[in-house]
Amino acid sequence: MPASTVWRLLLLGLLAAAARGDSTFRRFNMSLDAPPSQRWGPILRQYNIPLLKKFLDEIVRSVAPQWAIHVVNQLAPVLTNILPQPYQEEIEGISKILDVNLGDVLLVNFAYEILGYCTSIVAQDTRGIIYHGRNMDFAFSDILRIITVDIQYVKKDQIAYTGTTFLGFVGLWTGQKPNKFSISGNERAKVNWWKTAIAAILKKSPSPSWLIRDTLSEATNYHEALKKLACTPINANVYFILGGVKQNEGTIITRDLNKPVDIWPLKPAEGQWYRVQTNYDHWKSPPSWDDRRTPANRALNYTMQKNINLNTMFKVLSIRPVLNERTVYTTIMCAARSDYKTIIRSGKTNKLDYKKNYTAA
């Protein structure tokens, strides 16, 4: 092992050890009754801040092109008047706690927007219960495994919604409103990502992850959530996967910046009891070098509708290559039962065959 790798592993270990509780995974409450600028303090202060800054910086320098770093830093003072709340104030609060300039926190937030290759599944069992699962795959998975957190957003002593995020990232790519709906987002075609995102932000279009969090916060049922996710202008193309609490409430929304391209609901009456979304439009074939869709479909077929539940959903999300070296976490959700669980993945996969090893008992 080269010395630099050893050193990096040592630092990662220190960052992990700095967090109290379980060494690999943590769940925090965040008070929505507190001013946005103060919400992140209690969470971030549980970590070794200098190390955290080092790793966030590493992510930004690797993900953002030099020109974008320059432009965002130049724009930072103006952006504060453009970014919607509560994101602007939360980002300002984070920059104070980490003692870095606003541009750097914005860049971290943009960097996390560029997702890797993800898999999301929504399914309905024979009793009409909806289950939703997702794998989050990303570069820098070793760092991200340590800084992944579940956050319960608490308002007046009630959990308003729950989400999974990375430290310092104010948006949500995965979340659930208890007894209402669950949402995940997957990346879609990132051509000219930085240019498009910065231009759209200046037009006040939020990032997809901000729209997910807004939807969890504001929509009161599945249909409102569907409308909001489908029609609100955003700053990047994306797939939204939405699960509800009643029969047939599950759909994949394929998004452009300004409109839905396609809406693909469950049709359990026609035997279409699940939908799988990776990072390719569902009406086209995935590329042969990245087909996670066919193995997931096959695993779901072997599972059968009568056996689908959170355990079997987790098993489907654990077959290779649906689970791969870059998978940071798996979240399984059932909004109707307010079940929400995130599991950090090790990066190790083996060639398990779903049929032989995982067919539900």
Q: How far is the CB of 39 from ligand NAG (least distance, A)?
A: 14
Q: How far is the CB of 152 from ligand NAG (least distance, A)?
A: 5
Query: What one-character-per-residue DSSP string does 141-167 give?
Result: HHHHHHHEEEEEEEETTEEEEEEEEET
Interface residues toward ligand NAG, by CB under 6 A? 29, 152, 154, 157, 159, 294, 297-298, 301
Instruction: Answer yes or no: are the C-beta atoms of 160 and 359 closer than 8 Å.
Output: no
Helix (H, G, I), strand (E, B) or coil at 360: coil
Q: How far is the CB of 141 from ligand NAG (least distance, A)?
A: 27
Could you list the beta-strand ranges (E) of the chain.
26-31, 119-124, 130-137, 148-155, 158-166, 174-177, 181-187, 238-243, 250-255, 260-265, 274-277, 327-334, 339-344
Closer to ligand NAG by Cβ: residue 248 or 297: 297
Instruction: Answer yes or no: are the C-beta atoms of 142 and 12 closer than 8 Å.
Output: yes
What CA–CA distance (Å, rounded) separates 182 from 95?
30
Helix (H, G, I), strand (E, B) or coil at 275: strand
Whole-number Cα distances in Å, 198 to 113, 167, 194, 234, 239: 12, 22, 6, 11, 20
281 alpha carbon, distance to own chain's centre: 19
Closer to ligand NAG by Cβ: residue 11 or 159: 159
Residue 145 carries which side chain, given as an amino acid letter?
A: R
Closer to ligand NAG by Cβ: residue 301 or 346: 301
Of the residues 60, 107, 118, 333, only one is catalytic, namely: 118
Angle at 282 between CA 280 and CA 285, to 5 degrees: 70
Phi, psi of 350 (to 5 degrees): -130, 165
Q: How far is the CB of 57 from ligand NAG (least distance, A)?
A: 30
Closer to ligand NAG by Cβ: residue 101 or 158: 158
Residue 334 annotated to the active site: no
Q: How far is the CB of 246 from ligand NAG (least distance, A)?
A: 23
Closer to ligand NAG by Cβ: residue 51 or 352: 352
Residues annotated as part of the active site: 118
